[in-house]
Amino acid sequence: MNVSCIIPAYNEETRIAAVLRAVCACDLVEEIIVVNDGSRDRTSEVARVFPKVVVLDLAFNVGKGGAIAAGLENASGEVLLLLDADLVGLEVKHVEALLKPVLEGVDMTLGLFKKGRLWSDAAQAITPAISGQRALRRCILDAVPNLIACRMGVEIAIHQAARDLGCSIKKVDLDGVTHTPKEVKFGLVRGATARAKMYAEIGRTIVRSRKKNGNHDTSP
């Protein structure tokens, strides 16, 4: 099965190269798509340095769900690898650990941070469905209604689609991997505001999912 990697990115010029180095070095990945989600920095230029990478430049910021939707439209793989652009410590072994179970028959893997930042590790241990690192069969992403509207709640929507389809899900520990907190990226005040907005979008996605499922439990 062919593997396409989709990396949504917004203003990640100083962080995306490290992620791309790991993905480009993985022989299991045939196609790498970076979706530049209306960035105002050099994210696109940095990504284009890597010969294996296709960059899609969106005219304005549509949010994570919309960026993934744009990547999906241009991806050819039967298996999709979704990664955040701000990961720290990602190595080829982590990419392989996410992909191999799916290539061997599992429907979806969830990558969980371990031995990275305490709060990020704890958040993913409590609510693994929020992880942005996963490999999955294309049919799962195709089953998510209105990816664009999900914005930062897209991981919750993907997880619910997998559960609705009765898919097998395997958790994969990503030892030594973490991401850059919003408070580090934007400063304390702007970072806290961005984090609050993210949680609000996740909350709206959970509410929509529960309404769709008749208020049945949609927890991870």
Cβ-contact 94, 111 below 8 angstroms: yes
Alpha helices (runs of H) in 10-137, residue ranges in sequence order? 16-24, 43-48, 64-74, 92-103, 118-126
The predicted model scores a pTM of 0.83
- The answer to whether the CB of 162 falls within 8 A of the CB of 220 is no
Does 77 have pLDDT greater than 90? Answer: yes
Give the residue with greater pLDDT, 202 vs 2. 2
Q: Residues 79-117: pLDDT tens digits?
A: 999 999 999 999 999 999 999 999 999 999 999 988 666
pLDDT digits (tens, 9 = 90+) for 150-189: 777 899 899 989 999 999 999 999 999 998 766 667 667 6
Enumerate long-range contacts of 116-125, CB under 8 Å, 24 or more apart: 116/88, 116/89, 116/176, 116/177, 116/178, 117/178, 117/179, 117/181, 119/181, 120/178, 120/179, 120/181, 121/178
Residue 60 has pLDDT above 80, yes or no: yes
Specify the residue for token string 């990640």. Answer: 12
Residue 215, pLDDT above cutoff 50: no
Distance from C-alpha of 84 to C-alpha of 69, rounded to nearest angstrom: 15
**Domains of the chain from N-terminus onward:** 3-179 (3.90.550.10)
- Token pair 């693994």 is found at 128
Contact assessment for residue 137 and residue 108, using Cβ atoms and an 8 Å cutoff: yes
